[in-house]
């Protein structure tokens, strides 16, 4: 499988990091967030993680989030709980 950052990149951006309701937050993809995620992406070349996965992992770690509403095994590999797999 090709490990291309561009293949998996989607932009998480709004003009301001605002909250929509009580459950959804818009995350601005800042240069520092991108650099942290890209470094993680490059460090884990043994995994098939995409850059978007790595962005999610960095944001989740920063916010002390342990559970993800996903069935994606990549989240389990990164130490999170994939709620749709349990």
Complete DSSP assignment for the chain: ----HHHH------SS--EETTTEE-----HHHHHHHHHHHHHTTTS---HHHHHHHHHHHHTT--EES---HHHHHTT-EETTT-
Which region among 6-10, 26-30, 45-49 has the lowest average model confidence (pLDDT)?
Answer: 6-10
Q: What is the mean pLDDT of the chain?
A: 80
pLDDT confidence of residue 75: 96
Number of structural domains found in the chain: 1
In a domain, 1, yes or no: no
* Mean pLDDT on 54-63: 95
Q: Is the pLDDT of residue 62 over 90?
A: yes
In a domain, 5, yes or no: no
In a domain, 3, yes or no: no
In a domain, 2, yes or no: no
pLDDT confidence of residue 72: 94
In a domain, 35, yes or no: yes
Q: d(Cα 68, Cα 78) in Å, to the nearest integer?
A: 11
In a domain, 31, yes or no: yes
């Amino acid at each position: 499988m090709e490990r291309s950052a561009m293949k998996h990149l989607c932009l998480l951006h709004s003009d301001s990091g605002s909250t929509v309701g009580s459950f959804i937050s818009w995350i601005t993809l800042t240069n520092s967030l991108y650099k942290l995620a890209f470094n993680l992406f490059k460090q884990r070349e043994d995994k098939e993680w995409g850059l978007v996965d790595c962005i999610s992992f960095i944001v989740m770690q920063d916010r002390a989030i342990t559970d993800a509403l996903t069935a994606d095994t990549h989240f389990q590999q990164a130490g999170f709980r994939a709620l749709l797999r349990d």
